Structure formats: C-alpha cells, structure tokens
Structure 1
C-alpha cells in the first residue's frame, strides 16, 4: 500500500530545478522528498531500493516492473546493490515452477547514478535525482529514453545493511 502511494506521489509532484542541491562528490543534483530514519548510507553499505527513471512523465525503467510474466503481467522486485560500486542489470530470483506464467525474464538495468546518489540517504528516505551526465545515465538509451538524454531518477530506500 505504501509503495502504491509513493508512486502516486511521484507522478503528481513537480519539483522546480532550483530546489535541487548539487552533490559535491559527483555533480548529481538531488532533492530529498522524505528524509527517512536511522544511520546515513555510506559507500560499501548493502541496500535495497525501488527506483523509477522518468522521462517526460513516462516511467521508462523501474524496479516496480522488474519481471515480465506470462500474460503480460509484471511483478515488482526491489533492487539490491552495494553503494559506490557499479550497478548491473538485476539478477532476479528464478521461480522453480513448470508453470509458464512464472517464467520471467531478467530485470531492468539501473543507471550508474543510482549507486552514487543514495549516499547520505536513510532507510525509508525518498529522493529525486536529475541525471544529465552521459556516463551516469543511459548512453545508448533504453526503452522510450533516447540515447544520452537527461532524465529524473526517483529512489526509495527500503533497507540498509551496514558494512560494520
């Protein structure tokens, strides 16, 4: 229910570009929509997030549509990664079933900006990131997103495991 509400909040709220803050480490522009609680995320932490890449109001890549099932149905699978390390296409858990409705394809490939833009967030936090850097976005394009095009990345942190 909360994830559904978050997605609705994403679509109806337009944030002015002047409200974004530039991160000194990588030049990404971020806006925290909700702070979250607990310790701040730092490089090396293992985290689980939901993310949405928006281009002209279209949700072009999303962890909420992670696996295409038979019958054109999708299921959401959060994306797990180590902060600061390069991200790769989601390796989804396979279903041990002979039923073809659950024979899903691999998940979406997140932008490299995802791994760098979560530093400083907290569990439960929600952030909007403007990605206009070629190497941190999608240089070859993806789905409806043309090659080397700026887009908006929305992130929701679901859990954090500190490297301790």
Structure 2
C-alpha cells in the first residue's frame, strides 16, 4: 500500500478533495515505532505530525514528583501532533509508543507551505486540527481531574 493509498483511507482526511491528497503525500512517509520509543517531549520543536495507522501512542506530560503522566492514548485512525501548526511550534505534550505502531509522518514545514499557498486546503486542515486540539484539551482536563480531584465519597471540608 502506498502512502497515497493510506491517506485516502485515513479518517482524518476523509472528504478532502482528491487532488489535495497527492500534494499532502509529497510531504509524508511511512514510519514504524516500537514500544517505548519516545517521539517527542514537551517544549521541544514541533517539526512533524502523524496519522496513526495501527498500534497505540501515549500522550503524556512530566509532573514533578510523579514522572511522565499519561493523559490520553492515540490509536488507529488517530492524529498525533498539532503543535506544529501554531507558533511558537513547540510540543505541548510528550508522546511515546505504547505498542508497536505504524503511522504516516508529515513534515510540518512542507504542509504549512501547502496551507499558505492554498487557502481552501489551509482552512480545511486548520478546522480539522482545531478539532484535535479540543479533544486533547478535553482529555487533559479529564486526566487532571482524575489525578487531583477530590474523591466523590470524601467528607466535606471543615
């Protein structure tokens, strides 16, 4: 299966006009990660993003005294990375392969150039990535409540 075939089948790109897919494929390549492989850490330069084909990748962030705390797992059909789209282009979370995983990796600079040269493509991708951002914020909020919220059966303070 070619990279272009994978893009045609990935849910994130569903409904995009067919002529856009080869243009995106020109900035993409297949990748494989083994369990434990660290893709990126918070505040490092965000130069890529990925469409996950199979396996699982854990999003995390470092918590003093607790180490890396997982906030969400991205699986088949998922999107990994949005920080490449917005200045200052630094990762907001970290990511590590939880299982053997395959994905299509995109170069951020190349895709940003495509988006700048084609307003319609830029709007479509920005809208789709904003949905990813909202999902990540929702997952982070839920995880923070799990970690630091009061138990439901806790007695009232006072």
TM-score range, shorter chain: under 0.3
TM-score calculated relative to the size of structure 1: 0.27
Please state which structure has a larger fraction of its residues in helix.
2
